[in-house]
Structure 1
Amino acid sequence: MTATDVWLPIPADEIEGLPASSDAGLNYRYWDGGQDYPADPADCAFYVVPYMRGTEVAVRPMAAMTSVQVVQTLSAGIDHVQSGLGSLPAGVLLCNAKGVHEASTAELALALTLASLRGIPGFVEGQQREEWRAGIYSALADKSVLIVGYGSIGAAVEDRLVPFECARVARVARSARTTERGEVHPLAELPGLLPDADVVILSTPLTTATHHLVDAGFLARMKDGALLVNVARGPVVDTKALLTELESGRITAALDVTDPEPLPAGHPLWHAPGVLISPHAGGPTSAFMPRAKRLLAGQLTRFAAGEPLRNVVLTTG
């Protein structure tokens, strides 16, 4: 018997535009990572991974999904499901959530950059202490910005930088190419670009090539007083190396992601000088759910019609 179950982390009746179960021959099953499965995983044809539930939950049913055809994440990154891919049959499509998180993640990247440069954390602390902390603060205007990871999120970050009169925006991706906005440099050229950047924004996927990309050598090449902004993944940065630089006072950082994550109480990163930390808030905003629902409705409409899916990252086997 052909598998027809679709596992959704959002109730099907809350997703406008899904193909009707009776017409498409699909059985919608709600599972958001709870201990009990909604049905036999072997009957699952289309698995939508629960959002922000971590690797353990994401991969737990995958070994038993012997008939699955599609694994759809609701995140741009796929690192949380990679450990389970080897247990899947050959030919399974892995799709990511390109188009869902660009707006909110780029928005936070800009917010963290502005908050750090303009000294907002100090203003908040001053307000709590009833202190008027007047002074001269950095502006984003006239700064040189380097975006490391120029995919759809990196491009969305640059879209939001345009009105801020930056002196220059440089772009780095896995391979070189040219866009409407200019040249995208390959990773091999990154060392030569770092010394000129006042702000370095990380938006690269976590892969074997980018794990600890930001190591002691990377940080040493950043100019004195530069700001590192991470909206990618925590392990892209070597936390120990970053702490060394922060504690020296040579650079500052704004981090939406950390390694480890969640950052445990007592970790030295919490109180390192010159660091602003947000709790992986780039994706989970009010902008997420409408875009996630549109993605799922579109993908499942294509799946039911036998049409090619979007956002295919890889095929197993």
Structure 2
Amino acid sequence: MTQDVWLPLPPEEIKGLPGGPNYLFWDGDQQEFPGDPADCAVYVVPYMKPVPVRTRPLERMTRLRVIQTLTAGVDDITADLSLVAPGVRLCNARGVHETSTAELALTLTLASLRGIPGFVRAQDDERWQGDFRPALADRTVLIVGYGAIGAAIEDRLTPFEVGRVSRVARSGRTTARGIVHPLTELPALLPESDVVILSTPLTDGTRGLVDAGFLARMKDGALLVNVARGPVVDTGALLRELESGRLTAALDVTDPEPLPPGHPLWRAPGVLITPHVGGPSSAFRPRAERLLVDQLTRFVNHEPLRNVVLTTGA
């Protein structure tokens, strides 16, 4: 029996897809499904669509074997896995977003430290307004969440002559670059860090990780950069620190998200906000296509899949 594979990219535009499956295009914009969801074996989740759109066909995909996201985080899908039968492998997009997200993390850090938002506002008013700002050079940077994206961020920090990079992950280990500290050592590292970059996935263990206590341990004048997920940070606690002027922040993600008009975070002092654009760039499409070709080739040839986060019912 031919198995359907639902793709959010037109299959004729992806070079190297293996023969065998019946490839159907569905990016979530079409109300009608491209085929019977019951015949779908591999569901590649539409990218940058609302969660109800992405999860809408899951309940009817009774023969599903693989869910492949095009996001690094899978928290939006795991919340709806009760709709899926046991034995379905959920895979994330490790290898797709490291480049873009790390670029944005560095962009936010540099723009915030060097006061670029203020210069843009001065340009709008045709004011020549100089300022003396901190450099990234000689700063101590703490990366919280040292997976593939965290490592890619460090790759890009290295040429900027940072003073020291500290790394934190759920469990400690040693890498070629040095020690990765476990989360239990985070409180001792925060007071030493000039810049704290969040790149951790959203899990039960990281939701609300950056709370009032976390922020209080950060040194005066430190910068918090969030390219992880909004709910990793307690927005109320962050607002209090921003409004006091003690900390600054650069946020690609917020809680709530999208940030609604009138929310106090928009006008809080010392904050730079981008609208969750860490992943979508020109680097996304070629890396996503390479992942899909490799993953589907593995599926057709009954080889182990990459990036398996979990198997339902296991």
TM range (shorter): over 0.9
Q: Structure 1 residues 288, 38: CA separation in 2 closer, same or farther (over 3 Å shift)?
A: same
Displacement, 1:16?
0.7
Asked if 1:272 is matched to 2:264, the reply is: no
Per the alignment, in what secondary structure is the counterpart of residue 170 of structure 1?
Answer: strand
For residues 260 and 16 of structure 1, the distance between their equivalents in structure 2, rounded to whole angstroms, comes to 38
Aligned to 2:127: 131
Mark the runs of 5 or more structure 2 residues left unpaired by the alignment.
none
Q: Does 1:172 align with 2:177?
A: no
Q: Identify the residue that residue 226 of structure 1 maps to in structure 2.
A: 222
What is the CA–CA distance in structure 1 between the aligned matches of 2:293 and 2:180, rounded to whole Å? 33
Contact 2:64 2:88 in 1 (8 A): yes
RMSD of equivalent CA atoms: 0.9
Q: Matched residues in 1 for 2:164 and 2:2: separation?
A: 52
Matches within 5 A, 1:157-236: 157-236=153-232
**Is residue 95 from structure 1 mapped to residue 91 from structure 2 by the alignment?**
yes
What does 1:4-83 align with in structure 2 at a 5 Å threshold? 4-20=3-19, 24=20, 26-33=21-28, 34-83=30-79
Separation (CA, whole Å) in 2 of partners of 1:275 and 1:145? 18
Asked if the contact 1:142–1:165 (Cα under 8 Å) also holds between the matched residues in 2, the reply is yes
Q: Tell me, in whole angstroms, the C-alpha distance in 2 between the residues paired with 1:268 and 1:135.
A: 26
2:60 and 2:82 mapped to 1: Cα distance?
A: 12
Q: CA deviation at 1:304?
A: 0.9
The 2-side partners of 1:260 and 1:90 are apart by: 32
SS in 2 for 1:80: helix
| Residue type of the alignment partner of 1:237 | V
User: How far, CA to CA, are the matches of 2:188 and 2:129 in structure 1?
Assistant: 37
Residue 3 of structure 1 contacts residue 67 of structure 1 at CA under 8 Å; is this kept in 2? Answer: no
Contact 1:63 1:84 in 2 (8 A): no
Give the distance between the partners of 1:201 and 1:272, measured in 2 at CA: 19
Question: SS state of the match for residue 6, structure 1?
Answer: strand
Aligned length: 312
When normalised by structure 2's length, the TM-score is 0.98
Please tell me whether the aligned partners of residues 126 and 132 of structure 1 are also in contact (alpha carbons under 8 angstroms): yes
Query: What percentage of aligned pairs have identical amino acids?
Result: 71
Q: Hey, which bits of structure 1, 4+ residues long, moved more than 6 A?
A: none
Question: How far does residue 3 in structure 1 lie from its aligned partner after superposition?
Answer: 6.2
* Shift in Å, 1:57: 1.4
Structure 1 CA distance for aligned equivalents of residues 54 and 193 of structure 2 = 37
Is the 8 Å Cα contact of residues 249 and 273 (structure 1) preserved in structure 2?
yes
Q: Matched residues in 2 for 1:217 and 1:172: separation?
A: 17
Output the amino acid matched with 2:225.
V
Which of 99, 110, 117 lines up with 1:114 in the alignment? 110
Q: Distance in 2 between matches of 1:185 and 1:54?
A: 35
Structure 1 CA distance for aligned equivalents of residues 50 and 167 of structure 2: 30
Letter in 2 for 1:298: D
Match of 2:283 among 284, 287, 299: 287
Report the more deviating stretch, 190-199 or 34-43.
34-43
SS at 1:81 equivalent: helix
Equivalence for 1:303: 299
Contact 1:3 1:42 in 2 (8 A): no
Give the counterpart letter for 1:6 in structure 2. Answer: V
Question: The residue matched to 2:76 in structure 1 has which SS?
Answer: coil
